[in-house]
Amino acid sequence: MACVNQHSFCKTLLSYINILIILILLDFSYGMFNILLCIFTVTSLTEKACYLAVSHFLLVMLVWSFIRTMRTPPATPPRCFHWSKAMKVQYKTKSEEEFQVTLCEAAMELPIIMLSKEGNIRFCSICQLIQPDRCHHCVKCNMCVLKKDHHCVWLHNCVGFSNYKYFLLTLLYAILYLLFISAASLQYVIKIWAGKLPDALGSPLLALVCLSLIVLILVLFLLLYTCFNIGRNRTTIEANYPPSYVNCYDQNAYSFGFCQNLLQVLGEKKRYWLFPVFTSLGDGYSFPMRCAVDDVEKNAGIFQVLPARPLWITLDQYQEINDSEGDTDTTVMEDKNEDVQELEN
């Protein structure tokens, strides 16, 4: 028993070692830049105050975003996606094909467009639920995560719908902080080489610049890849394993252009964009798509009405647009409903 406890303790300790490395790096950069360079080396008071103010601001924003990304629990599917008692029994007693029929019936009530690679309704037998679009099970977190991007070992948490904005801000502030301290330190390294400052300062400052630049390049690649995915409104999972949709063959089905895609992550209120507070648009389980579901026959019995309201339009604005469009839309919807009834008959 003691051995099991010891093993579990070692495992927990090892899983947090990445976070420990980040803390050591931040501590090193803080000591070298703020104490050694700003307090003991820089002579100009204005320069000293400027360096301290900017580096502290960027560091606070970086740590705040990092903690928010790490501590925000992943968003899980709401109750309506969970299996009913009857479905739990059917899962144990029926064959997978028969269970799929039950899933299809249940999925008709839900906003589901994404299918498995085999063209089936996606479900998670561990969490016992129908998986909403863009939701994936995380083995490490042991739960289904809404709009799962990836499980980050450095954060010891899943990056998904609930903390994607914080993750983006963590990368952004990390780059700004590293860029600032390496640029400010570099000029003093050059002064030391030129013999204008004591040699003893050379090695620690050079170590700070080199370390900052190495981490900066790594984080920059990660930020560029994240921006590339935002540009196509794809998660890392969707980029690696292109999903299938009901009646839609567009691999960038959620993309409405870089600005609109970014708006889905950052939210509508510009004043909150640079702060790690939750402002992302949507509910995490239904997403506006480019392709319209108007070919009912291709839905193979799973007719779904897409969330027609774009996430960046408020309900009141959407109501106004609908009212102004008048009877035209009503006729289209009536035709659609007739088609569905015909298909069901």
Spatial separation of the C-alpha atoms in residues 253 and 289, rounded to whole Å: 5
| Residue 152 falls in the annotated catalytic set | yes
The CA–CA distances, whole Å, from 215 to 29, 174, 184, 342 equal 12, 9, 16, 60
Q: Nearest distance from residue 333's CB to Zn ion, in Å?
A: 35
Q: With binding defined as CB under 5 A, does residue 270 bind Zn ion?
A: no
Any residues with CB less than 8 A from the CB of 247 and at least 6 apart, and which? Answer: 291, 293, 295, 298, 299
**Is 75 or 178 the residue whose CB approaches Zn ion more closely?**
75
Size of the residue set binding Zn ion (CB under 5 A): 10
**Is 160 or 288 the residue whose CB approaches Zn ion more closely?**
160
Cβ atoms 19, 154 nearer than 8 A? yes
DSSP 3-state of 288: coil
Binding to Zn ion, residues 188-217 (CB under 5 A): none
**Sign of the alpha-carbon dihedral angle for 76, 77, 78, 79:** negative
What is the pattern of x (binds Zn ion, CB under 5 A) and - over residues 117-156? -------x-xx---------xx-xx--x------x-----
Cβ atoms 64, 169 nearer than 8 A? no
Q: Nearest distance from residue 103's CB to Zn ion, in Å?
A: 15
**N-term to C-term CA, the chain:** 62
**Is 81 or 177 the residue whose CB approaches Zn ion more closely?**
81
Binding to Zn ion, residues 154-173 (CB under 5 A): 158
What is the pattern of x (binds Zn ion, CB under 5 A) and - over residues 64-103? ----------------------------------------
Residues marked active site are found at 152
Which residues of the shown chain bind Zn ion in the complex (CB under 5 A)? Answer: 124, 126-127, 137-138, 140-141, 144, 151, 158
